[in-house]
Amino acid sequence: MVDLIALEKEFLSSHIKEGGVAVDFTMGNGHDTAWLSKAVGENGRVYAFDVQEKALESTRETLKAENCPDNCSLILDSHSNVLDYVKEKICVGVFNLGYLPGSGNKALTTLRPTTKKAVEAAISLLDKDAIILIAVYPGHEEGRLEGEMLDEMLQGYDRRKLCVSKFKLVNSPTSPFFFAIESK
């Protein structure tokens, strides 16, 4: 059986660089932030965004529990403002769209206008041989619409500069899926 999470990690591992700069666009409980932090190592940098203070608190605990290097900037702001904070080229960007797992507040979900702006900004920050991975959750209405919006938007990029692929279980339309955007 295809394991989408293992596949995501394979994609990320083939682009992440020790000493590189990575961005977690949807920090949540910090599991992706911790993975990125260890992967870029103490000479690297991770910028992580969330609009909920609760996510920053939870991520601080995750980073501590996982003994991550001191290389993360946790930012309480929308990922759509990423260009105000990140001035370097990035080797990896991760979006895990939707709402904070276990928070009970599904209203604080990612939304199409800000997701679009953030993905466009993320693409503008990509270094050579870099990747943006976007996990989409079509099991809720805004997630389904975000997936459709991204599908349409990403078709417009020049394939000589970016390779955009989508990994989806075709016989399970409400299961999560992901886009991989790789720079040449």
Ligand X SMILES: C[S@@+](CC[C@H](N)C(=O)[O-])C[C@H]1O[C@@H](n2cnc3c(N)ncnc32)[C@H](O)[C@@H]1O
Alpha-carbon distance 46 to 52, whole Å?
A: 18
Measured on CA atoms in the order 133, 16, 19, 36, is the torsion positive or negative?
A: positive
Question: Judged by CB, which is closer to ligand X: 49, or 179?
Answer: 49
Question: Judged by CB, which is closer to ligand X: 85, or 163?
Answer: 85
The minimum distance between CB 133 and ligand X, in angstroms, equals 11
Alpha-carbon distance 112 to 177, whole Å?
A: 17
Neighbour-count burial of 152, counting CB atoms closer than 10 A to its CB (0-12 exposed, 13-18 middle, 19+ buried): exposed
The minimum distance between CB 84 and ligand X, in angstroms, equals 13
Question: Judged by CB, which is closer to ligand X: 43, or 174?
Answer: 174
The minimum distance between CB 102 and ligand X, in angstroms, equals 9
The minimum distance between CB 108 and ligand X, in angstroms, equals 5
Q: Give residue for tokens 């993975």.
A: 35
Question: Judged by CB, which is closer to ligand X: 76, or 163?
Answer: 76
Catalog residues that contact ligand X under the rule CB under 6 A. 26, 28-32, 49-52, 55, 78-80, 96, 98-101, 108, 110, 114
Taking CB atoms, the residue at the shortest distance from ligand X is 28
Question: Regarding beta strands 177-183 and 162-167, do their DSSP bridges make them parallel or antiparallel, or are they unpaired?
Answer: antiparallel
The minimum distance between CB 87 and ligand X, in angstroms, equals 19
Write the single-letter amino acid at 63: L
Question: Judged by CB, which is closer to ligand X: 8, or 50?
Answer: 50
Q: Give residue for tokens 């599991």.
A: 31
